Amino acid sequence: MEQQAVAAPEPAVLAAFENAKGFMPVDEGLALYAAAVEAAGLGLPLLEVGTYCGRSTVLLADAARRAGVLALTVDHHRGSEEQQPGWEYHDPEVVDPVVGRMDTLPTFRRTLHAAGLEEHVVALVGRSPQVAAVWQGPLGLVFVDGGHTDEHASGDYEGWAPKVADGGLLVIHDVFPDPADGGQAPYRIYLRALESGRFAEVSVTGSLRVLRKSAPDAGRR
């Protein structure tokens, strides 16, 4: 059987991804892009939790553009725990000098402008559980890459996984089975998804896991 070609971004899109502030490596970005292109075929929006400066948003936006759907991205833009002053991933360049707090929204907007993808993205500025509580429609893809505490990861999973359409994809970043490699909260929600019986693993690339949501009665006779 001939293997189906995996979707890949154009060089300009990949360059915009690589030039943006963020932490996702290229191999994981390519896996996310392929998943987004596939999920966009459902004709539903693609959503990510955890925008930061828009590095992964570039890929979701281009996949959405190709399919004529929208990419949605949820973030309060004040930074997660590990991005606060004194922590490993803090970047003083994204601190608002007026209020003295992180504000990644301006950098995110510049990222999308540089990529030429602004019109394909809706930025939802707020906390994930609050936005999830008022979002009613189904989604073709949910990409969870927000805060890495159990509280925040669990909130993202509980708020958004139910909104993935049957046949849609749940993508979770920073999944580390070995605690020596990283925090365990994303790994725990990954296990919850598998144990729910509604999600099956599609692919593994680095710390990125792609899961497909099945219908409630899938496999039953």
Q: Which residues are catalytic?
A: 148
Q: Which two tokens stand for residue 202?
A: 């599609």
Q: Under 8 Å CB-to-CB from 200, ≥6 apart: which residues? A: 194, 211, 212, 214
Note the Cα 140 to chain centre separation in Å: 12
Q: At residue 65, what is the residue type?
A: R
Q: Which of 152, 131, 107 is nearest to 47 (CA)?
A: 131
Alpha carbons 156 and 141: distance in angstroms, whole number:
14
Q: Which of 133, 158, 130, 125 is nearest to 144 (CA)?
A: 158
Element (H, E) at 150: helix 150-160
Q: Which of 66, 76, 17 is nearest to 37 (CA)?
A: 66
Note the Cα 97 to chain centre separation in Å: 28
